[in-house]
Copies of this chain bind each other. A is one copy, B any other.
Amino acid sequence: MRDVAIIGVGQTEVGEHWETSIRHLALGALQAALRDAAVPRVDSLYVGNMLSGELSGQEHLGALVADFAGLRGTEAVKIEAACGSGAAALRVGYIAVAGGLADIVAVVGVEKMTDLSGADTTAALALAADGEYEASQGLSFVAVNALLMRRYMYEYGYDREDFAPFAVNAHRNATNNPAAMFHFPVTAEGFARSKMICDPISLLDSSPICDGAAAVILAPANVAGALSAAPIRVAASAVGTDTLALHDRRDPLVLDGAALSAQRAYAQAGVTPQDIDLFELHDAFSIMAALSLEAAGFAEKGRGVRVALDDEIGTHGRVPIATMGGLKARGHPVGASGVYQVVEVVQQLRGTAGANQVPDAHLGMAQNIGGSGATVTTHILECMGS
């Protein structure tokens, strides 16, 4: 097994791109990443996507994107793990390069969610949950998260307003990210008045339905220095899984899949949570941010919200999260988010995160969650030579 590095990244602006098809979104991100890496071709392409069949009338994205990007003939396939599809695709690309089966690999995460009605998209997103025990009973995906948040508040004595710092932090950081969907700050007062979506989840607890694509180019670390001025080493790539259905879990308030994924990543990288300079977590809903902080070892059980209340999640805090806006405010084009997270960690480690730069960032972690915690992929990235 050999070391793997990221030699190029690219992303499209997250938003409602009604004028742009899913293949054009993927192309934009992939071309930007290929330009950034300055490589003309790749050995294989992995496309992370959840809902192209349901929302864009198109499966078979691997070959489609390869051909559209001028890579006809190249090995290509689509990887799906619900909202965790992006990082799951990166994981497969990592396996190919680490194992020596490929040298230069492109990974694209893409999702086009705004072409159908909100109701259709909501129904499609429920495909991430257990179809027989959750979705078919009328439980939408936001409702799954609302159950978790309500239980969390009950168990640990929080009010819904205590979750405000997650939204405030994410929106503050997104204002400085040109690729983010939202460029306006929100306040704790605004959060308190926010429209209720699925009690206790309000609009400002929720990531938006949107379109976007992000891409990274991988190469063996030993040649990355020759190919890139600022290669970033993939210090760990790990997956943990859990049940899709909440009722099957050991404890619904513990994301066992996320904990497993993080522990495997820490072991591979030989680091602990204390070594991580920033953590791009899966804040699809603010309850997921809290549970992720706990599962990854940044907070004790029931203390994830406390980390935010104690002002530790800002770019200069103990655990910087959502440093470019997170799923909440950069946006959450589901199959793309896991790749956006990694692109943003690379920006931080390259020192190109502008106003949102985390000081002395050498080690960054990204964790992408499929469903309410059933497929969790964690990547730890590291400045090379650091």
Q: Which A residues have a C-beta under 8 Å from some C-beta of B?
A: 1, 21, 23, 44, 50-51, 53-54, 56-64, 66-67, 72-82, 88, 91-92, 95-96, 98-101, 124, 127-132, 135-136, 238-244, 248, 256-257, 260, 370-371, 374-375
Chain B residues, Cβ within 8 Å of A74:
241
Q: What's the Cα separation between A323 and B67 when bound, in Å?
A: 33
Which residue from chain B places its CB closest to the CB of A256 in the assembled complex?
B73
Q: What's the Cα separation between A44 and B1 when bound, in Å?
A: 17
Chain B residues, Cβ within 8 Å of A23:
132
Which residue from chain B places its CB closest to the CB of A240 in the assembled complex?
B73
Q: What's the Cα separation between A124 and B242 when bound, in Å?
A: 29
Partner of A241, one of B66, B91, B248: B66
In the assembled complex, how far is the CB of residue A116 from the closest CB belonging to chain B, in whole angstroms? 14
Partner of A76, one of B77, B99, B241: B241
Q: What's the Cα separation between A124 and B60 when bound, in Å?
A: 12
Partner of A80, one of B59, B67, B91, B241: B59
Q: What's the Cα separation between A66 and B130 when bound, in Å?
A: 13
Q: Is the CB of B241 within 8 A of A67?
A: yes
A59-B80, A257-B63, A370-B63 known; A241 vs B73 contact (CB < 8 Å): yes
Which residue from chain B places its CB closest to the CB of A82 in the assembled complex?
B60
Max chain B C-beta neighbours (<10 A), residue from A75, A82, A136, A239: A75
Chain B residues, Cβ within 8 Å of A248:
67
Q: Is the CB of B370 within 8 A of A60?
A: yes
- Excluding A1-B101, A60-B375, A63-B257, 17 further A-B contacts by CB distance (< 8 Å) are A1-B99, A21-B132, A23-B132, A50-B59, A58-B130, A60-B129, A62-B80, A62-B88, A72-B241, A73-B257, A73-B260, A77-B91, A77-B375, A95-B95, A95-B96, A95-B99, A99-B99
Q: Is the CB of A58 within 8 A of B131?
A: yes
In the assembled complex, how far is the CB of residue A60 from the closest CB belonging to chain B, in whole angstroms? 4
Q: What's the Cα separation between A243 and B69 when bound, in Å?
A: 11
Q: Is the CB of B60 within 8 A of A371?
A: yes
In the assembled complex, how far is the CB of residue A260 from the closest CB belonging to chain B, in whole angstroms? 5
Max chain B C-beta neighbours (<10 A), residue from A61, A76, A136: A76
Which residue from chain B places its CB closest to the CB of A244 in the assembled complex?
B64
Q: Is the CB of A128 within 8 A of B59?
A: yes
6 A–B pairs (Cβ distance < 8 Å), ordered by A: A57-B135, A60-B371, A62-B81, A74-B241, A76-B239, A96-B99
Q: What's the Cα separation between A92 and B76 when bound, in Å?
A: 11
Max chain B C-beta neighbours (<10 A), residue from A73, A77, A130: A77
Q: Is the CB of A76 within 8 A of B375?
A: yes
In the assembled complex, how far is the CB of residue A59 from the closest CB belonging to chain B, in whole angstroms? 4
Q: What's the Cα separation between A95 and B93 when bound, in Å?
A: 10
In the assembled complex, how far is the CB of residue A65 from the closest CB belonging to chain B, in whole angstroms? 10
Chain B residues, Cβ within 8 Å of A101:
1, 95, 98-99
Q: What's the Cα separation between A371 and B128 when bound, in Å?
A: 25
Q: What's the Cα separation between A149 and B58 when bound, in Å?
A: 24
Leading 5 A-B pairs by shortest Cβ distance = A99-B99, A58-B131, A63-B374, A59-B127, A75-B239
In the assembled complex, how far is the CB of residue A163 from the closest CB belonging to chain B, in whole angstroms? 26
